[in-house]
Amino acid sequence: MRKDVENLFKLAATPLPPDDLADRILGRIHAERRRISLLRRIAFFSVGAIASASALVPALLALRTAAAESGFVEYFSLLFSDGGAVAAAW
């Protein structure tokens, strides 16, 4: 009986992998590397965008304070309220 089973397994053809198996495996590895790279870039740029947005508020407040202290606001409003005077003084 044992000899029959051994002969059966010897005669049974081992299944061969598909011809394109290596290409499919390498394609999946490439796609996974691209996906990981994309996720890293998204995370990096998201952190940068959050940092930039959070720094924008203090920068605008400092700009407003500096413009008010230097008198720029008055000169800028004069440009719109009396453009003729600005053109004559130019």
Q: Taking the CA atoms of the chain, what radius of gyration do you get in angstroms?
A: 37
Structure tokens at 35: 């996906």
pTM beyond 0.85: no
For 11-43, give one letter per residue: b (16+ CB within 10 A) or e: eeeeeeeeeeeeeeeeeeeeeeeeeeeeeeeee
CA–CA dist 19, 13 (Å, integer) = 17
Confidence (pLDDT) at 30: 98
Measured CA angle at 14 (ends 10, 16), to 5 deg: 160
Confidence (pLDDT) at 29: 98
CA–CA dist 4, 11 (Å, integer) = 10
pLDDT in tens, 51-87: 999 999 999 999 999 988 888 888 788 777 877 777 7
Structure tokens at 76: 């800028």
pLDDT in tens, 18-43: 999 999 999 999 999 999 999 999 99
On the question of pLDDT at 3 being above 90, the answer is: no
